[in-house]
C-alpha cells in the first residue's frame, strides 16, 4: 500500500489491510527541506515509532 500514507496513523491503518505501507511523499518532503538522505530516513523512522 502506498497512496495517502503520510503519517503513523495512516501507516497503521494501511497495515491492518496489507503486509506493509510506503510513505514516499513524506520522505521526499524531508529531502526538499534540506535533509540529507540519511537524516531524512532517521526522521521518518522516528516519526513512525
For residue range 6-44, list pLDDT tens digits in order. Answer: 889 999 999 999 998 888 888 999 999 999 999 999 999
Cα dihedral 35, 38, 44, 49 sign: negative
The per-residue pLDDT for 30 is 94
What's the number of domains the chain is made of?
1
35 in a structural domain: yes
29 in a structural domain: yes
44 in a structural domain: yes
Domain that holds residue 40: 23-49
> CA 17 to CA 22: how far, in whole Å?
13
3 in a structural domain: no
pLDDT of residue 2 exceeding 80: no
pTM greater than 0.75 (yes/no): no
39 in a structural domain: yes
pLDDT band, very low/low/confident/very high, at 49 (cuts 50, 70, 90): confident
Amino acid at each position: 500500500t502506498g497512496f495517502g500514507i503520510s503519517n503513523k496513523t495512516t501507516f497503521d491503518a494501511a497495515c491492518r489491510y496489507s503486509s506493509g505501507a510506503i510513505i514516499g511523499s513524506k520522505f521526499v518532503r524531508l529531502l526538499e527541506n534540506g535533509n540529507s538522505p540519511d537524516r531524512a530516513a532517521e526522521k521518518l523512522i522516528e516519526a513512525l515509532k
